[in-house]
Copies of this chain bind each other. A is one copy, B any other.
Amino acid sequence: MTVQLGPVAVSAARQAADFDPVQPTALGERDQVRQIAADSQVFDRIELDTVDELLDGYFRDPQASGYNLLSYRDGDRVLGFVAWGPRDLSEHGYDLYWIATRPDARRRGVARVLMERVEAIVRARGGGWIVIETSDTPPYAAARGFYARCGYQRLAVLSDFYRAGDGLVIYARRLNSKEAVR
């Protein structure tokens, strides 16, 4: 059987791709991503520097830098972004670095869609684990609840790790238990 893709079918395929709200972050979205990070309140100055380093690495070369970004778009507006990448020396391990939604787009499932997209990509690459490091402070309570609802297990809490009163919480989720246990 031969499937013919005429102009109408091609246009429909393009429309379907355009309709996908999740796409690799574009260079023109850099300022919006920075603003979402700044608006999230839980990023302080030094962490925003880290967002810049991450954006620099991603726009230079995602593969070499290990930094990957996806935007959730509504037209030209970026509603949220996620940054993630493979762990060095590991075939199956990935880190989720940042996930954030702009304040006026919250409670619409943006972060959930971004998280599921990253998990789908990691699975497609044969990855088995996603690790998330976050803070144990009250401003991060919503993030911790989100990770738990997404099926991430809290592995450890290292109190005062970042600074006094600000500890490290490590979460991880195994994606491919059937595939990896062999």
Contacts and interface: CB of A to CB of B under 8 A. Distances in A.
A93 B158 contact: yes
A164 interface: yes
Give the one of A47, A88, A92, A161 with max B CB within 10 A. A161
The size bracket of the interface on A is 20 to 34
A46 B89 contact: yes
Nearest to A91: B163
B88 A162 contact: no
A2 B16 CA distance: 83
B128 A160 contact: yes
B182 A90 contact: no
Interface of A: 46-47, 50, 87-93, 128-129, 131, 155-156, 158-165, 168, 170, 172, 174, 180-182
